[in-house]
């Protein structure tokens, strides 16, 4: 299997997508997967070369974050650059990994329909979309809080190396919760009121000297 992965996060090598894919590669390599590479779509000038690498690979994974219920513009640009390959990708397998900060998988549930349609247009085999919510913040979480998540991504990679597809059981586990329960919603509202839920975002605003303007509404008349 010649596996090529495209990281579609605008954060590039500083992204949560990279962290998750590193764990995937750990499992992939441990299970015997050897021929793989990863490219970063944030390098827009290199998209023509990435299209050539996409063409040469027999198995492709495109991993990206969900940005306000949409895929990043750099992923859209890459997909549009694949237009000349329409109907010419027979025998190629394509899978996707979509992560987001939203805790509920429902936010990402409509994207797989588009991605499957994309594969049909290319003439490639669609091997599924892995969805994982609640990822934002993993870079500041202690190992005890990320151990289970990282373990599942390593197991996902190991299964992929052997089977050439995603483990449906792990996919189902990663996609939970689809919707948050009543208690979880109540808890989040409570944490929001006391400021805990916004700790990470507030720290980012302060880091960029924007905390005092967090309630600005420039487009409101």
The per-residue pLDDT for range 56-103, each reduced to its tens digit, is: 999 999 999 998 778 999 999 999 999 999 999 999 999 999 999 888
Q: Is 113 found in the same domain as 85?
A: yes
Burial class (CB in 10 A: 0-12, 13-18, 19+), 60: buried
Q: How many Cβ atoms from other residues are within 10 Å of residue 154's Cβ?
A: 20
pLDDT at 217 over 70: yes
Is 123 within a domain? Answer: yes
pLDDT for 137 equals: 85
pLDDT of residue 185: 66
Residues 134 and 204 in one domain: no
Distance CA 77, CA 74 (A): 5
What band does 200 get if pLDDT is binned at 50, 70 and 90?
confident
Cα–chain-centroid distance for residue 171?
13
129 and 65 fall within a common domain: yes
Q: Within this chain, do residues 194 and 167 fall inside the same structural domain, yes or no? A: no
Classify burial at 31, counting beta carbons within 10 Å of its beta carbon; exposed 0-12, middle 13-18, buried 19 or more.
middle
Rounded Cα distance between 158 and 24, Å, is 7
Q: Are strands 59-65 and 3-7 parallel, antiparallel or unpaired?
A: parallel
Structural domains in the chain (count): 2
pLDDT digits (tens, 9 = 90+) for 5-38: 999 999 999 999 999 999 999 999 999 998 999 9
């Amino acid at each position: 299997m010649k596996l090529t992965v495209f990281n579609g996060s605008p954060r590039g090598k500083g992204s949560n997508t990279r962290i998750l894919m590193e764990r995937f590669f750990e499992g992939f390599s441990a299970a015997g997967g050897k021929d793989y590479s990863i490219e970063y779509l944030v390098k827009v000038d290199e998209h023509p070369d990435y299209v050539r690498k996409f063409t040469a690979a027999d198995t492709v994974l495109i991993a990206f974050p969900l940005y306000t219920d949409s895929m990043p513009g750099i992923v859209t640009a890459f997909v549009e650059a694949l237009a000349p390959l329409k109907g010419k990708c027979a025998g190629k397998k394509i899978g996707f990994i979509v992560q987001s900060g939203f805790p509920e998988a429902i936010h990402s549930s409509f994207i797989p329909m588009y991605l499957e349609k994309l594969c049909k247009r290319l003439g490639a085999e669609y091997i599924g979309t892995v969805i994982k919510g609640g990822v934002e913040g993993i870079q500041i979480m202690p190992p005890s809080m990320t151990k289970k998540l990282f373990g599942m991504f390593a197991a996902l990679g190991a299964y992929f190396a052997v089977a050439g597809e995603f483990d449906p059981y792990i996919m189902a586990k990663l996609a939970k919760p689809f919707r948050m329960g009543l208690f979880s919603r109540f808890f989040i509202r409570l944490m929001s009121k006391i400021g805990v839920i916004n700790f990470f975002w507030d720290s980012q605003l302060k880091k960029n000297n924007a905390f005092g303007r967090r309630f600005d509404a420039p487009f409101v008349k």
